[in-house]
Chains A and B, each alone.
Chain A
Amino acid sequence: GAGVSQSPSNKVTEKGKDVELRCDPISGHTALYWYRQSLGQGLEFLIYFQGNSAPDKSGLPSDRFSAERTGGSVSTLTIQRTQQEDSAVYLCASSLAYRAENSPLHFGNGTRLTVT
C-alpha cells in the first residue's frame, strides 16, 4: 500500500519568506511526527499529533514554526520568516498508535529545504 507521502520533495526559498511543508500519513495511522535532519546532525524531534489530542509541540525550535493536522490525516508544517539555519531535511512519520509498544514509525522521503 501507499507509504507516507511528503511534498514538495525539494524547496528553495529566500530568507524571510514563509514556507509550507505537507505530509500525507499512511491511512489509518493515528500518530504523526515531524522531525528535522540537518547536515551532520541527528534527527531532531519537532512535534507529534495523536488522534484528536492536543499536539506535543515541545520540540519546535521557535515560534516561527507551527504545524496543524486537519481531520486527523494530512499535516502541514509552516515556517514563517525563514532563516538560513532552517535549512535541513524535514521528515514526517506516522504510526498506528502513539506510545504503543509494537508500532514502528514509517517515514516519508522528506522535504529538503534550502534557505538562501
Chain B
Amino acid sequence: KQEVTQIPAALSVPEGENLVLNCSFTDSAIYNLQWFRQDPGKGLTSLLLIQSSQREQTSGRLNASLDKSSGRSTLYIAASQPGDSATYLCAALGGTSYGKLTFGQGTILTVHP
C-alpha cells in the first residue's frame, strides 16, 4: 500500500524567504507525482505534475523535483509572498494503489509580511 509523508507539518516564514517542502513515498512504481495547493474552504489547485520519467518541473517561482529511487520529492518556493500562504499537498499516482492518487497530510505554510 502506497504511503505518502510530508515534512514539515507546518512552516512559518517571513516574506521573501526561499523554502523547501518535502514529500516521501513508499512505493517507487508511480506514474507521476503531483503537488497541489489548498486554500481554506476551497478545493485543491494543481501546481505541478512530474511524470515518472522526469526529474523536475518548474512553474514561475515554483520548482518541484522527483527522485523515484529514493522515494522523495521536494517543492521549492522562491521569494515567498504572503499570498503563498496555504496548505500544500503532494500526491503519488500509481504504485500498489492501482492508479489511485495517494495524498500526504500536507504542509501548512504561513508567509508573514
Contacts and interface: CB of A to CB of B under 8 A. Distances in A.
Interface residues of B, number: 28
Contact of A101 (B51, B98, B105): B51
Interface string B80-103: 000000000101011001111111
Contacts, number: 61
A101 B57 CA distance: 14
The 4 nearest A-B residue pairs measured at CB: A107-B43, A104-B46, A107-B44, A43-B103
Contacts of B76: none
Interface in B25-49: 31-32, 34, 36, 41-46, 49
B104 interface: yes
A105 B47 CA distance: 10
Interface of A: 4, 6, 33, 35, 41-43, 45, 48, 56, 58-59, 91, 93, 98-110
Contacts of B89: 43
Interface of B: 31-32, 34, 36, 41-46, 49, 51-53, 89, 91, 93-94, 97-106
Given A58-B100, A99-B93, A99-B94, 9 more contacts: A4-B43, A35-B103, A43-B89, A45-B97, A93-B44, A105-B101, A106-B46, A107-B43, A108-B43
Given A42-B106, A99-B93, A104 B34 contact: yes
Given A99-B31, A101-B52, A105-B34, A42 B43 contact: no
B32 A101 contact: yes
Contact of A42 (B41, B49, B93, B103): B103
Contacts of B41: 109
A4 B98 CA distance: 24
28 contacts: A6-B43, A33-B100, A41-B105, A42-B104, A42-B106, A45-B102, A48-B99, A48-B100, A56-B99, A56-B100, A58-B100, A59-B100, A91-B43, A91-B44, A99-B31, A99-B99, A101-B53, A102-B32, A102-B49, A102-B51, A104-B34, A105-B44, A106-B46, A107-B36, A107-B46, A109-B42, A109-B43, A110-B43
